[in-house]
Amino acid sequence: MKSEYLRVGVITTTHGVKGEVKIFPTTDDIERFDYLKTAYIDTGKELKKVTVTGVKYFKNQAILKFEEINNINDVLCYKGKDLLVSREDAVELEEGEHFITDIIGSKIVTDEGKELGILDDVMETGANDVYVVKDELGKEILLPAIADVILNIDEETMTITVHLLPGLID
């Protein structure tokens, strides 16, 4: 079942004394914060709705100001918490793109019909993503998310068809 909310970042620390927070982005496009109006902080107990009133950038992080938080003391408790957006506020995906959360748990099957395991994680590297597949024994298989390897992703059946290039797995 698809999650109603998608993580766009993690609150790493405070910035200044007026309640601004530094966000480590977990989105492909850091500039998506420029257009973010409403977000949710996952407190662990509930989702706290916040309105974004300011965005700036420093190094690889976004610095956000929320209308509801105006003091450093009010934001300290959110360090390490996820910043989410509702699915309808998510960025538009291009053809063939998928939200990672929607494909985790997919069954990985080769183009020859052999079951490899379940997609456990996606590592985001500079060049291309790497799919972390766990087989029935818990062993990890790493597959580069490139067109020659990932042939088809079917979100409906939660199945990913792959082609194993020579030397990719033992």
- Give the DSSP H or E segment for 122: strand 115-124
Instruction: Kindly tell me if the per-residue pLDDT of 1 is higher than 60.
Output: no
Q: In the structure, what pLDDT confidence band is assigned to residue 24 with cuts at 50, 70 and 90?
A: very high
- Looking at CATH, the fold of the domain delimited by 5-89 is given as Elongation Factor Tu (Ef-tu); domain 3 (2.40.30)
* Ranges in the chain annotated CATH 2.30.30.240: 100-162
Q: Work out the end-to-end distance of the chain between its first and last CA atoms, rounded to an integer number of angstroms.
A: 33
Cβ atoms of residues 163 and 152 within 8 Å: no
CB atoms < 10 A from the CB of 141, how many? Answer: 18
pLDDT digits (tens, 9 = 90+) for 67-106: 999 888 888 899 999 999 998 877 777 777 788 888 889 9
Cβ atoms of residues 43 and 31 within 8 Å: no
CATH for 100-162 is 2.30.30.240
85: number of CA atoms within 13 Å, CB side?
19
* Section 153-161 average pLDDT: 91
